[in-house]
Structure 1
Amino acid sequence: MLYRVEGIVIRSMDYGESNKIVTLLTNSSGKAGVLVKGAKKVKSRFGSLAQPFTYGEFVFFRGPNGGLGSLNAGEIYESYHTLRENLDQAAYASYVAELTDRALQEDEAGGFLFEQLKACLNGYVLGKDPQIVTHLYEMRILEAAGYAPGLDACVNCGNPEGPFRISAHMGGALCIRCSAGDPGAIRLSDPAYKLLRLFRRMDLRRLGSIEVKPETKAELKLAMRKLMDEQLGLKLKSQSFLDQLDKLT
């Protein structure tokens, strides 16, 4: 069967002497693995389509039983080459790409998430705060995987009155009384908690200019890391590299 999809390359790996296998996040077919023959050759007409983060149209054939597709044609809409050339941007883009690939099964990756990933990459290119953009996308990943945190009321007793603490183990907010049952629950400042609730609801395509104080960003990073580690439990190479970059800044 012939597929014609919009897709973003979230993983690219060598296959044999001259080929590459790419994993796409598509707008209509979830995740898809596609063989790009001759992609490593200097004069390959498909070489650019196999580059990480490339957004474009991909036409590929895949058998009736699914599995790996084979690229027939394609067109680049946005190469996102600056994301491969700038170290900081490359680190964040690599993280969200690996996160998407590792966190989601094919049927969990719908068209909305495709649009969110595209908005995330656009945000990096436009110079928006990469940490904030990334946290927003992490929320979309948690949502797509079925682990979105409950933040409007206590996830244990339903009490809507704060203040709350964030429990990664319980998957959301705990009121003061219930938080006694989770020593690992963290207390956030009011600005950090309000932003976390905003992240839970916000479409990345609507993100404008935003400035967040360093101390608030530190709180958000701690909360999101705990939620991601507890709910998804992934060890990502790109995350380790991001952490190393943070230590240098």
Structure 2
Amino acid sequence: MLYRVEGLVIRSTDYGEGNKIITLLTPTYGKQGIVVRGAKKLKSRYGSLAQLFTYGDFSYYKTGTLGTLNSGEIIESFRELREGLEGPAYAAYASELTDRAINDDEAAAHLFHQLKACQSALAGGKDPQIVIRAYEMKVVNASGYAPMLDECVNCGRQDGPFRFSAAAGGALCLSCKHKDPTALELEETVWKLLRVFSALDLRRLGNIAVRDSSKRQLQLALRRWMDVHLNLNLKSRNFLDQWEKYGDLLGERMKRPEPIPETEAGEGKV
């Protein structure tokens, strides 16, 4: 049967001497694996369609597990995401996270649009740490492991302050924090951002200025959450952690946020 879809290339691997197998995230059929014959050859007609991050129109035949590309056209190459180090690092992480965290039957049109918006935001120069944290929350929600952020997961109390517990499932009030001694004490700004990211459509993401201490706490909270609930070993994440130079933070450091330089304390900073 012949299929025609719009899709984003989230994985591209060599197959045989001159071919590639690409994994597409599509709004209509979820994730689809397609063989692109001759993609590795210099004069390949469709080699550019097999590049990671490409957004295109794909026509393919499929009778079994894998399809075979019949024809295609690039809609947007996202060339900026293949230049330098920062763009490829964040975009590769978003693609690998999508591929590994989401089953074929869980991929839907909403996630397709969120990943496309994530790539557009990264290519457009928006703060990559904020963009990727927001997208992580989209993937967490799509995989069915969204944290409870508005009330205590143990007793239902709705007035904070709370601690963030990946093991318990989200917010723990002070009366219940003993349920998880490792629960994180987050800045109120971080709680607000987590709630915003959970509800946000990334296509409406504006420019958000966030203090470095808040970025670190956001990273730690979502890393802890994904480690507990998704348990993925991603090559791109290991590189990204080295790039961001954060990784898991010591508890003492979490309690003593870095002072905000005067140049970062201007209007619009959160």
Match in the other structure for 1:123: 121
Contact 2:168 2:179 in 1 (8 A): no
Report matched runs for 1:14-53 at 5 Å: 14-53=14-53
Task: Name stretches of at least 5 consecutive residues in structure 2 with no aligned partner.
Answer: 247-270
Structure 1 unaligned segments of length 5 or more: list them.
none
1:7 and 2:13 aligned: no
AA in 2 matched with 1:138: E
Question: SS of the counterpart of 2:176?
Answer: helix
The CA distance in 1 between the partners of 2:168 and 2:73, in whole Å, is 45
Which residue of structure 2 aligns with residue 187 of structure 1?
Answer: 185
Please state how far the C-alpha of 1:169 moved relative to its aligned partner. Answer: 0.7
Deviates more, 1:104-113 or 1:151-160: 151-160
CA distance in 2, matches of 1:213, 1:36: 44
Q: Which runs of 4+ in 1 moved over 3 A?
A: none
Q: Per-residue displacement from partner, 1:202-237 (whole Å, max 9, x unpaired)?
A: 110111111001111111111111111111000100
* Residue in structure 2 matched with residue 55 of structure 1 by the alignment: 55
Q: After superposition, give the CA deviation of every residue in 1:169-218 in whole Å (9 maximum; x if it has no partner).
A: 12211111111110111011111111111111111011111100111111
Q: Number of aligned residue pairs: give it.
A: 246
Residues 40-189 of structure 1 correspond to what in structure 2 (within 5 A)? 40-63=40-63, 66-189=64-187
- C-alpha contact 1:20 1:36 (8 A) present in aligned 2: yes
Matching residue's letter, 2:85: L
TM-score, normalising length: structure 1: 0.97
CA RMSD of aligned residues (A): 1.0
Question: What is the CA-CA distance between 1:92 and the residue it aligns to?
Answer: 0.3
The aligned amino acid for 1:224 is L
Which amino acid in the other structure matches residue 234 of structure 1?
L
1:163 deviates by 0.5
> Which position in structure 2 is the counterpart of 1:211?
209
- What is the distance in 2 between the residues matched to 1:195 and 1:246? 19
* Matched-pair contact (CA < 8 Å) for 1:171–1:231: no
Describe the superposition over 1:125-154 as per-residue Cα deviations: whole angstroms up to 9, x where unpaired.
111110111011111111111001110111
Judge conservation of contact 1:59–1:74 (CA < 8 Å) in 2.
yes
3-state DSSP class of the match of 1:49?
helix
The 8 Å contact of residues 89 and 124 in structure 1, kept in 2 or not, is answered as yes
Deviations 1:4-37 (A, max 9, x none): 1110000000001110000010111000000000
Q: Which moved more, 1:11-20 or 1:79-88?
A: 79-88
- Give how far 1:52 is off: 0.3
Taking the aligned partners of 2:45 and 2:152, their CA distance within structure 1 comes to: 55
State the TM-score, normalized to the length of structure 2.
0.89
Rounded Cα–Cα distance in structure 2 between residues aligned with 1:163 and 1:244: 32
**8 Å CA contact 2:7, 2:27 repeated in 1:** yes
Deviations 1:102-126 (A, max 9, x none): 1111010000000000000000011
How far, CA to CA, are the matches of 1:35 and 1:89 in structure 2?
A: 26
Kindly indicate whether the alpha-carbon contact (under 8 Å) linking 2:53 and 2:78 is maintained by their aligned counterparts in 1.
yes
How far apart, CA to CA, are the structure 2 residues paired with 1:3 and 1:44?
A: 22
Report percent identity of matched pairs. Answer: 59
Which of 199, 202, 211 is residue 197 of structure 2 equivalent to? 199
Q: CA deviation at 1:247?
A: 2.7
- Give how far 1:86 is off: 2.2
Distance in 1 separating the partners of 2:163 and 2:76 = 41
Q: For residues 46-72 of structure 1, what are the alpha-carbon distances to aligned partners after superposition, in whole Å with 9 as ceiling and x for unaligned? A: 100000000011111111xx4000000
